[in-house]
A = this chain, B = another copy of it.
Amino acid sequence: MRVLPLADVYRLLEPGPVTLLITADEGRANVMAMSWHMMLEFEPPGIACIVSANGHSFAALERTGECVIAVPPATMADRVVGIGNCSGRSVDKFDRFDLRRRKADLVAPPLLPECIANIECRVTDRKMIRAYNMFILEAVKAWHDPAKAGAATMHHRGWGEFAFDGEIVRIPSNMR
């Protein structure tokens, strides 16, 4: 994995892929599937995300203020669905889904080197947690795997139906 300029983080999340959210609480890492996220700001990259208060990740994210957002390739779809269908409360998902991990640089939760990219994040605003389970994050370091550049991501349409990225189209645009 190589460092990805922070200015390019939005190009990973703006397309709306299913992501994996990795947390670590008292040394124990966990991972959940997350599709409710959006960009807030280009640079430094601001990200908003919704994390269910019922899940094991919520308490870890609230307590530690740190996470990694990983973008899995569509080839990991079966594992991503499996990750979404069990709880870190009762399962070590890294074991169950045979997920490799690597130490992050600036936050405690690990990176997932099998993913297209990994974004190390810190919680910067907790005001919307109570009303919406919404965390405001800032990306502090990002990584990508050049060997997986352009790999198809997956987009959830509900109940396990996914659209995988198909044709890539370039249309002249002055929109960042």
Measured in the bound complex, the distance between the Cα atoms of B175 and A136 in whole Å is 24
How many copies of this chain? 2
Instruction: Establish whether residues A85 and B174, one from each chain, have CB atoms under 8 Å apart when the complex forms.
Output: yes
Q: Which residues, 36 to 74 on A, are CB-close (under 8 Å) to B?
A: 36-41, 46, 48-50, 74
A153's nearest neighbour on chain B, judged by CB, is B163
Task: List chain B residues, Cβ under 8 A from A160.
Answer: 170-173, 175
- Is A134 in the interface zone, CB < 8 Å from B? yes
Interface size of A by Cβ–Cβ distance < 8 Å?
56
Cα of A46 to Cα of B176 in the assembled complex, Å: 27
A88 within 8 A of B: no
Contacts of A49 in B (CB 8 A): 38
A49 to B128, CA, bound (A): 14
Binds B, one of A9-17, A90-98, A105-113, A137-145: A9-17
Q: Does A78 lie at the interface of the complex (its beta carbon under 8 Å from any beta carbon of B)? A: yes
Q: A165-B166, A166-B166 are in contact. Are A157 and B11 (CB under 8 A)?
A: yes
CB <8 Å contact, B48 and A39: no
Q: How far is the CA of A146 from the CA of B84 in the complex (A)?
A: 30
Chain B residue with the shortest CB-CB distance to A164? B167
A-B contact pairs, 23 of them (CB 8 A): A15-B16, A17-B155, A33-B175, A35-B39, A36-B38, A36-B40, A38-B48, A38-B49, A40-B134, A77-B171, A78-B171, A81-B172, A85-B173, A153-B163, A155-B155, A160-B170, A161-B168, A161-B169, A163-B168, A163-B169, A164-B166, A164-B168, A165-B165
